[in-house]
C-alpha cells in the first residue's frame, strides 16, 4: 500500500508490503515526486519497530508513581481523563504534542484544547526544531511557509547551506542537491558528511553565524551585488539591515567567526552574482538563542540579491520532523490557530470561535514547550498530556525537566510504545496507533501534502490519536463538535479553515490524494494542480505586499565558555538514528551502525583522555565514548543526542542533561548548538 515516510521532513513516498496482518517490507514509491523510489535506511527497518514487543496495547492507570499499573478499558480511561480535566482550571492543563502526529491528529487536539478546554497551553516538540523558522518567515514574508520546492535545488546554481547536515539528516534531498552540481557552500563548525562535499566550507565557530551572515550582506552592498530594483519595489527595511551589516567587514567578521575573510567574500560574491541562489538551513540555524535573527539574516541575503520567487532561488528551511509543517498549518504551537491564524489576533479568534462553535478561545498565547519547566515547578501547570514525544530525553537540561514533570498532579502519556523514559513518569498511558496503522496526511518541507494510509490493524486496543481526542471531546459533552468517525472526515473539516489563507488546502481531500498523489499548497480548488513556488508575483503575505529585511545584530552565546568550561558542545544526529530512538532503537541493524553514544573531540583537546569521558556543563553531565577526530575544530566538541536511559548503560546519562535552557526571545527555541562544557576522564573499571 502506498504511504508516506514517518521519519524526516523530506516526506518520501513509501510502499508498505503487508502479509498476513504483518508489515514485512518497506520500499520507496517510484511514483512519488519527492524520492522517485529511493529511500534512506531508516524506513526500511520499520517492520522491526512496528512489531516490537513493547508496543502499548491497552490503557493503563495508576494513582501515584509508586503504584503498579492497572489496565483499563477505553471507556473507563476516557471517562477518567474527562473527569480529571474538568477538575482543573484551563491554564492548569498543558498539552505537549509532536511533529510525528498526522495533520488530522493535530487538528483534533487543537480543537479540543484551544476550542473547548479553553487552554492555549498546547505546544509541540517542533518548538525544539522549527519555531525559529516560523518566526523568521512570518516576520520577513508575512506568513510562515517555505517559498521554494525541492525541484528548485536541482535548478539552482549556488546552494548555501548553513547549519544543515543534509547528507545525514535529509538524505534524499541531499541526493537531489548533489544531482545537478550547483556550487555548494556549507557553513558548519564541523567537517560534516555534507561539508566534505562543499566547494567552499566555512568553518564558522558555534554561536557566530550572525557576524558571518552580516559580512556576506556587507559584501553584497560593497561589491554592487544588491538587487536595488527588487529592494525598492518589493521590500522594506533594507536600510536598517545594511546599517548593521556595514559594521561587519569581512576582516572583522573573520576575527569573530573564524572563517577566513577571503572565503566570506567568495561566498557572498557567488551567492549575490547568481539569480539562481538558494539559502538552505536546518537545526544549526534554528536551535539558537538568536535563531529568529539567523533566519531573518538568511532571508535578508535572498531578498537583498533578489533571489526569491523564481526557479532555483529562495530561502528554504529543511524541516526536521515528518509533519512539523502540518502541525504549523493546523495551529500546533501555543501562539497559533488553524490556517496560520494567531491566538493573539481578535479577528482570527472570532473566526475560529464561530467555525468551531466554541465557548471561547483564550486571547493570550499559551506556554511554549520550553516554558513548561518553570510552570510545572511553580504549580501553574498541574496536568500534562504528552503525545508521541519523549521530552525526558529530548528537552534541554533534561534532568531538570524530568524533576519538574514529577511535580505534576496528573501526567497522561499517549504513545505507541510503553515503557518509554517519559512514560515512566506518567499516571495514565493511552495506547496510540502509529504508522502504518492509521489514515491521515502529512505536509513536508516543500508544502507537499501526502497521504498516510492504514495498511494493518493497530495492536491490542490502540487507537488513532485523533480518535482518542475526539472521544475525550464527546465525553466532555461536546458531541456535535467531535462527530468524526474517519480521518478523512477530520481532514475535510480542517481544510475549510485554510480557505483563502496562504496555506489553502481546500482543494485537497483524502480521495483526491489517493487518486492523484501528493499536492503542494496553496491548492484552493479540486481542479487546482497545486503550487510549486510561492511569491512568483513578488507580492508577499504582509499587509502592504512587501517583504521585510531586518537588522540582525550579533550577541554572544548565552552559555559562554570559561576557564572551568573551556569547550563548546554542539549537538546533532547520526544518519541511522531518529530522535530519542523510540523506533530506530528497535532495529539491531540500525543500532549496530552506531551502538554507543559518543563525543567527537579534536586531537589537541583529547590529549591524555581515556576512552570514556564525562561531558560536564553548568547543569549536569553525561558519560560518552571519546572519538578523536580532526573533523571538529579545537575548542569544539560534537555529540549526538539520541540515547536515553533505555539505551544507556548504568551511570551514563542522556546528553541533554548537559544542554542549556537558554531560549530565543521570539521563537522560544532552545540553544542546543552552543553550550560550555569540560571533559573529565572516566576511569575504566
Ligand atoms: Fe524517510 Fe527522510 Fe529517509 Fe526520505 S530521507 S526515506 S523521508 S527518513
How far apart (Å, rounded) are the C-alpha atoms in residues 595 and 602?
21
Q: Give the pLDDT of residue 616.
A: 98
Specify the ligand 1 atom closest to the Cα of 170.
5
How far apart (Å, rounded) are the C-alpha atoms in residues 25 and 158?
38
For CA atoms 4, 5, 8, 10, give the dihedral sign: negative
Instruction: Kindly indicate the confidence band of residue 684, based on its pLDDT and cuts at 50, 70 and 90.
Output: confident
Domain positions in the chain are 2-50, 60-128+322-497, 147-318, 567-681
- Euclidean distance between the first and the last CA atom of the chain, given in angstroms as a whole number: 51
Whether the CB-CB separation of 531 and 447 falls below 8 Å is answered with yes
pLDDT, one tens digit per residue, over 553-569 is 999 999 999 999 999 99
Q: What is the mean pLDDT of residues 637-655?
A: 90
CB-neighbour burial class of residue 406 (10 A; exposed 0-12, middle 13-18, buried 19+): exposed
Best mutation site among 11, 172, 321 for ligand 1 pocket (most ligand atoms within 8 Å of CB): 172
Residue 478 phi, psi (nearest 5):
-100, 60
DSSP letter for 114, please: I
pLDDT, one tens digit per residue, over 116-153 is 999 999 999 999 999 999 999 999 999 999 999 999 99
> Per DSSP, which regions of 388-476 are E strands?
410-415, 428-431, 440-443, 448-452
Whether residue 30 is predicted with pLDDT greater than 80 in this model: the reply is: yes
Pick from 73, 89, 117, 118: which is nearest to 409 by CA?
Answer: 89
Top-level class of domain 2-50: alpha beta
Distance 318 CA to ligand 1 centre (A): 12
* Range 567-681 classified under CATH 3.20.20.10: no
Q: Which residues pair with 297 in a beta bridge?
A: none
Pick from 552, 547, 554: which is nearest to 241 by CA?
Answer: 552
Q: What order do you get walking across the sheet with 440-443 strand by strand?
A: 440-443, 448-452, 519-520
Q: What percent of the chain has pLDDT over 90?
A: 94
Pick from 505, 466, 506: which is nearest to 112 by CA?
Answer: 466
pLDDT, one tens digit per residue, over 2-28 is 999 999 999 999 999 999 999 999 999
Instruction: Kindly indicate the confidence band of residue 653, based on its pLDDT and cuts at 50, 70 and 90.
Output: confident
The whole-chain average pLDDT of the chain stands at 96
Whether residue 234 is predicted with pLDDT greater than 90 in this model: the reply is: yes
Using left for φ > 0, alpha for ψ between -120 and 50, and beta otherwise, residue 21 falls in left
For CA atoms 241, 242, 247, 250, give the dihedral sign: positive
Q: What percent of the chain has pLDDT over 70?
A: 100
Whether the CB-CB separation of 317 and 90 falls below 8 Å is answered with no
For CA atoms 252, 257, 262, 267, give the dihedral sign: negative
Beta strands 70-71; 60-61: pairing state: antiparallel
Q: Which residues pair with 94 in a beta bridge?
A: 384
Whether the CB-CB separation of 115 and 356 falls below 8 Å is answered with yes
For CA atoms 281, 284, 290, 291, give the dihedral sign: positive
Assigned architecture for domain 147-318: 3-Layer(aba) Sandwich (3.40)
Best mutation site among 2, 6, 7, 165 for ligand 1 pocket (most ligand atoms within 8 Å of CB): 7
Best mutation site among 43, 573, 576, 578 for ligand 1 pocket (most ligand atoms within 8 Å of CB): 43
Q: What is the mean pLDDT of residues 228-247?
A: 98
Question: CA dihedral defined by 342, 377, 420, 436, rounded to 10 degrees?
Answer: -10
ipTM of model over 0.90: yes
Alpha helices (H) in 476-531, listed in sequence order: 487-496, 510-516
pLDDT, one tens digit per residue, over 190-201 is 999 999 999 999
Whether residue 156 is predicted with pLDDT greater than 70 in this model: the reply is: yes
User: All 3 cell numbers of residue 167?
Assistant: 547528507
Whether the CB-CB separation of 90 and 310 falls below 8 Å is answered with no
Neighbours of 595 (CB within 10 A): 12
pLDDT, one tens digit per residue, over 326-365 is 999 999 999 999 999 999 999 999 999 999 999 989 999 9
CB within 8 Å of 282: residues ≥ 6 apart: 163, 164, 165, 166, 169, 170, 317, 318, 320
Q: What is the mean pLDDT of residues 626-655?
A: 93
**Pocket of ligand 1, beta carbon within 6 A:** 5, 7-8, 10-12, 35, 39-40, 42-43, 170-172
Whether residue 588 is predicted with pLDDT greater than 80 in this model: the reply is: yes
How far apart (Å, rounded) are the C-alpha atoms in residues 387 and 385?
7
How far apart (Å, rounded) are the C-alpha atoms in residues 340 and 558?
31
Q: Give the pLDDT of residue 685.
A: 65
What's the whole-model pTM score? 0.96
Q: SS3 for 256-293, per residue?
A: HHCCCHHHHHHHHHHHHHCCCEEEEECHHHHCCCCHHH
Whether the CB-CB separation of 145 and 502 falls below 8 Å is answered with yes
Q: What is the mean pLDDT of residues 416-436?
A: 97
Q: Which residues pair with 570 in a beta bridge?
A: 638
Specify the ligand 1 atom closest to the Cα of 40.
3
Instruction: Kindly indicate the confidence band of residue 499, based on its pLDDT and cuts at 50, 70 and 90.
Output: very high
Specify the ligand 1 atom closest to the Cα of 28.
6
Whether residue 651 is predicted with pLDDT greater than 90 in this model: the reply is: no
Q: Give the pLDDT of residue 578.
A: 87
CATH among 3.40.50.740, 1.10.357.10, 1.10.510.10, 3.40.50.2300 for 60-128+322-497:
3.40.50.740
Pick from 37, 309, 82, 206: which is nearest to 559 by CA?
Answer: 206
Amino acid at each position: 500500500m502506498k504511504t508516506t515516510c514517518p521519519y524526516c521532513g523530506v516526506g518520501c513516498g513509501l510502499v508498505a508490503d503487508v502479509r498476513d496482518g504483518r508489515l514485512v517490507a518497506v520500499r520507496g514509491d517510484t511514483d512519488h515526486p519527492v524520492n522517485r523510489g529511493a529511500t534512506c535506511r531508516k524506513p526500511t527497518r520499520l517492520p522491526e519497530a512496528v512489531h516490537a514487543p513493547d508496543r502499548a496495547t491497552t490503557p493503563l492507570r495508576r494513582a501515584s508513581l509508586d503504584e503498579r499499573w492497572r489496565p483499563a478499558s477505553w471507556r473507563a480511561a476516557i471517562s477518567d481523563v474527562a473527569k480529571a480535566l474538568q477538575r482543573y482550571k484551563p491554564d492548569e492543563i498543558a498539552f505537549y504534542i509532536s511533529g510525528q502526529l498526522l495533520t488530522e491528529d493535530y487538528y483534533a487536539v487543537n480543537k479540543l484544547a484551544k476550542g473547548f478546554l479553553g487552554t492555549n497551553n498546547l505546544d509541540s516538540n517542533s518548538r525544539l526544531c522549527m519555531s525559529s523558522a516560523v518566526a523568521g518567515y512570518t516576520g520577513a514574508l508575512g506568513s510562515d511557509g517555505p517559498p521554494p520546492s525541492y525541484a528548485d535545488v536541482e535548478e539552482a546554481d549556488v546552494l548555501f547551506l548553513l547549519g544543515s547536515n543534509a547528507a545525514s539528516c535529509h538524505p534524499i534531498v541531499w541526493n537531489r542537491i548533489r544531482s545537478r552540481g550547483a556550487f555548494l557552500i556549507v557553513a558548519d563548525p564541523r567537517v560534516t558528511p555534507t561539508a566534505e562535499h562543499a566547494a567552499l566550507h566555512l568553518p564558522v565557530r558555534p554561536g557566530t553565524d550572525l557576524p558571518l551572515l552580516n559580512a556576506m550582506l556587507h559584501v553584497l552592498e560593497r561589491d554592487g551585488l544588491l538587487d536595488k530594483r527588487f529592494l525598492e519595489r518589493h521590500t522594506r527595511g533594507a536600510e536598517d539591515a545594511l546599517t548593521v551589516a556595514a559594521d561587519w567587514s569581512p576582516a572583522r567578521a573573520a576575527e569573530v567567526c573564524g572563517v577566513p575573510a577571503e572565503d566570506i567574500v567568495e561566498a557572498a560574491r557567488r551567492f549575490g552574482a547568481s539569480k539562481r541562489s538558494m539559502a538552505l538551513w536546518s537545526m544549526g540555524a534554528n536551535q539558537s538563542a538568536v535563531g529568529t535573527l539567523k533566519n531573518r539574516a538568511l532571508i535578508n541575503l535572498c531578498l537583498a540579491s533578489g533571489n526569491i520567487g523564481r526557479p532555483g532561488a529562495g530561502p528554504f528551511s529543511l524541516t526536521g520532523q515528518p509533519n512539523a509543517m502540518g502541525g504549523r498549518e493546523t495551529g500546533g504551537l501555543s501562539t497559533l490557530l488553524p490556517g496560520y491564524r494567531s491566538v493573539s489576533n481578535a479577528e482570527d479568534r472570532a473566526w475560529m470561535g464561530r467555525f468551531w462553535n466554541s465557548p471561547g478561545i483564550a486571547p493570550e498565547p499559551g506556554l511554549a514547550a520550553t516554558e513548561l519547566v518553570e510552570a510545572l515547578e511553580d504549580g501553574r501547570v498541574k496536568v500534562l498530556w504528552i503525545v508521541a514525544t519523549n521530552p525526558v530525553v529530548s528537552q534541554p537540561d533534561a534532568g531538570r525537566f524530568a524533576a519538574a514533570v514529577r511535580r505534576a498532579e496528573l501526567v497522561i502519556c499517549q504513545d505507541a510504545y510503553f515503557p518509554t523514559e517519559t512514560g515512566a513518569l506518567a499516571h495514565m498511558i493511552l495506547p496510540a496507533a502509529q504508522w502504518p496503522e492509521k489514515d491521515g496526511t502529512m505536509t513536508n518541507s516543500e508544502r507537499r501534502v501526502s497521504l498516510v494510509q492504514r495498511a494493518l490493524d493497530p495492536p491490542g486496543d490502540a487507537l488513532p490519536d485523533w480518535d482518542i481526542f475526539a472521544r475525550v471531546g464527546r465525553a466532555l459533552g461536546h458531541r456535535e463538535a467531535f462527530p468524526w468517525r474517519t480521518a478523512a472526515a477530520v481532514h475535510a473539516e480542517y481544510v475549510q479553515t485554510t480557505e483563502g489563507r496562504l496555506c489553502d488546502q481546500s482543494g485537497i481531500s483524502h480521495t483526491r490524494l489517493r487518486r492523484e498523489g501528493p499536492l503542494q499548497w496553496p491548492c484552493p480548488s479540486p481542479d487546482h494542480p497545486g503550487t510549486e513556488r510561492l511569491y512568483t508575483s513578488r507580492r508577499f503575505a504582509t499587509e502592504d505586499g512587501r517583504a521585510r529585511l531586518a537588522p540582525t545584530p550579533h550577541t554572544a552565546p548565552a552559555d559562554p565558555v570559561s576557564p572551568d568550561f573551556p569547550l563548546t558542545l554542539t549537538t546533532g544526529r547520526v544518519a541511522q538514528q531518529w530522535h530519542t530512538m523510540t523506533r530506530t532503537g528497535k532495529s539491531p541493524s540500525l543500532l549496530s551502525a552506531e551502538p554507543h553514544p559518543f563525543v567527537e573531540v579534536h586531537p589537541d583537546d583529547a590529549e591524555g583522555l581515556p576512552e570514556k569521558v564525562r561531558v560536564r556543563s553548568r547543569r549536569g553531565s553525561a558519560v560518552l565514548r571519546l572519538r578523536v577526530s580532526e573533523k571538529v575544530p579545537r575548542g569544539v566538541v560534537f555529540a549526538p543526542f539520541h540515547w536515553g536511559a533505555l539505551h544507556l548503560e548504568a551511570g551514563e546519562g542522556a546528553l541533554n542533561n548537559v544542554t542549556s535552557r537558554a531560549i530565543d526571545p521570539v521563537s522560544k527555541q532552545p540553544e542546543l548548538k552552543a553550550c560550555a562544557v569540560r571533559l573529565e576522564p572516566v576511569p575504566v573499571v
